[in-house]
Amino acid sequence: MVYRHECKYEISLSDMFALQQRLQAVMQTDEHAVNGKYVIRSLYFDNPEDKALREKMDGISYREKFRIRYYNSDISLIHLEKKCKKGSLGRKEKALLHQDEAEAIIDGKYDWMLQHEDILVQELYQKIVQHGLRPKTIVDYIREAYVYSPGNVRVTIDSDIHTGLFHTDFLDAQCPTVPVNGSPIILEVKWDAWLPNIIRDIVQLKNCPSIAFSKYAACRMYD
């Protein structure tokens, strides 16, 4: 799996409106979008010592985290994802989960994972057994995403970030969530070997330096 460049920026509401006009003129809308946007719900994992959270807060260069995720309230398509970071580079591995498999993980039933056909599910099982990895918190947000074939560029604008606090039943549509403090809007730009100048020019914003923002960390601030 190849690492990709990743840059994040916290932007204002006016920045978002300006970017929307520019991005729509040049890039294609992501396939998951409905009326230009879609809702993401993720359930993040961590160990009893909060290793993933602490490594993020401490700025550790190489780190990884596991999550399960679905889009637009459609629990018929659930992904297990492993996100790896190495400085400003990132990569993601994915595996499909059936609804009953996701429910089993939430309920603490893990033995079936050892015999799963996908090695990523097997790896999560090993981390559960060896390191005590467990579901930690729900993260909800709205995403507006654009793609550009040259450079394999993906630009996303994430807003309305909510945390599920201590709740982990992310298949429950009625699970209570609360807004993250400050209601940040996050622009993220990802690309392979090179970022085309036209995209670089579009995402150039004044007074918006690159940041190391984590939705998972932001949603754990209530612990």
Q: What is the pLDDT of residues 130-182, one digit of tens each?
A: 999 999 999 999 999 999 999 999 999 999 999 988 788 899 988 889 999 88
* pLDDT at residue 34, rounded to an integer: 83
Rounded average pLDDT over 63-86: 95
pLDDT of residue 114: 94
User: How far is it, in rounded angstroms, from Cα 135 to Cα 67?
Assistant: 8
- What's the CA angle centered on 200, arms 70 and 217, to 5 degrees? 40
Question: Structure tokens of 15?
Answer: 């920045």
- Per-residue confidence (pLDDT) for residue 181, from 0 to 100: 83
The pLDDT, as a whole number, for residue 222 is 63
Q: What is the pLDDT of residue 119?
A: 97
What integer pLDDT is reported at residue 206 of this predicted model?
A: 78
Nearest partner of 220 among 154, 136, 150, judged by Cα: 136
pLDDT band at 204 (very low <50, low <70, confident <90, very high): confident
pLDDT at 35: 81
pLDDT tens track for 2-55 = 899 999 999 999 999 999 999 999 999 987 788 889 999 999 999 999 999 999
Amino acid at 29: T
pLDDT at 105 exceeding the cut of 90: yes
User: Token digits for 2?
Assistant: 């190849």
Mean pLDDT along residues 204-209:
80
Average pLDDT over residues 63-84: 95
Question: In the prediction, which pLDDT does 137 show?
Answer: 93
Identify the pLDDT of residue 153: 96
Q: Which amino acid is residue 217, in one-letter code?
A: A
Q: Is-contact 74 58, C-beta < 8 A?
A: no
Burial tier of 169 (Cβ tally within 10 Å: 0-12, 13-18, 19+): middle
Helix (H, G, I), strand (E, B) or coil at 162: strand
Q: What is the per-residue burial (b if ≥16 Cβ within 10 Å, else e) of 83-92?
A: bebeeeeeee
Q: Report how far residue 140's alpha carbon sits from residue 71's, in angstroms, rounded to the nearest whole number.
A: 10
pLDDT tier at 1 (50, 70, 90 boundaries)? low
Q: Which SS3 state, helix, strand or coil, does residue 61 take?
A: coil
**Residue 160 corresponds to which tokens in the numbers above?**
């309305």
Residues 111, 100: Cα–Cα separation, whole Å: 14
Residue with tokens 């994915």, as numbered in its chain: 94
Q: Which residues contact 161 (CB under 8 A, 6 or more apart)?
A: 139, 140, 141, 179, 180, 183, 184, 186, 215, 218, 219
3-state secondary structure of 70: strand
